[in-house]
Amino acid sequence: MNNNNNDLFNDIMTGLKQAEAYTKGDNKIARGKKYKIKVINNYNDDKIKKIRSTLHLSQRAFAEVMGVSTKTIEAWERGINKPSGSSSRLLQIFEENPAALKEYHLVESSSID
């Protein structure tokens, strides 16, 4: 076994020992991280319209970005329905960072001549 395989084997064994220790309640040997998860915001019709407007998207384009139908966006913006948890999280991302659309290549702008 060469050094790279030895290192990999040792890393895997260390991880397994840590996992075993953790399941037995020994948190000293196991590595772990604690995360504070940000609360998902609630979105009403006005907030959703404002986010879409800030992103400069039509209802149809916004629906494509959100992965929902245009009718769903219409219902949200009329206050008939509320976004689900995952949709609310995505709205929260766009509200806090409108540039995420371009950063993650979710939209491409083009000029109409």
> What's the pLDDT at 53?
97
Kindly state whether residue 12 falls inside one of the protein's structural domains.
yes
Residue 72, number of CB atoms within 10 A of its CB: 19
Residues 90 and 59 in one domain: yes
Name the residue range of residue 59's domain: 45-103
Kindly state whether residue 39 falls inside one of the protein's structural domains.
no
Kindly state whether residue 87 falls inside one of the protein's structural domains.
yes
Distance of CA 47 to the CA centre of its chain: 19
> What's the pLDDT at 21?
82
Write out pLDDT tens, residues 53-93.
Answer: 999 999 999 999 999 999 999 999 999 999 999 999 999 99
What six digits make up the tokens of 30?
């196991």
66: part of which helix (H) or strand (E)? helix 59-66
9-13: average pLDDT: 89
Residues 86 and 53 in one domain: yes
Mean residue pLDDT of the chain comes to 89
pLDDT-based confidence at residue 110 (cuts at 50, 70, 90): low
Distance (Å) of CA 60 to CA 5, 63, 108 = 52, 5, 15
**CATH code, domain with 58:** 1.10.260.40
Residues 27 and 53 in one domain: no
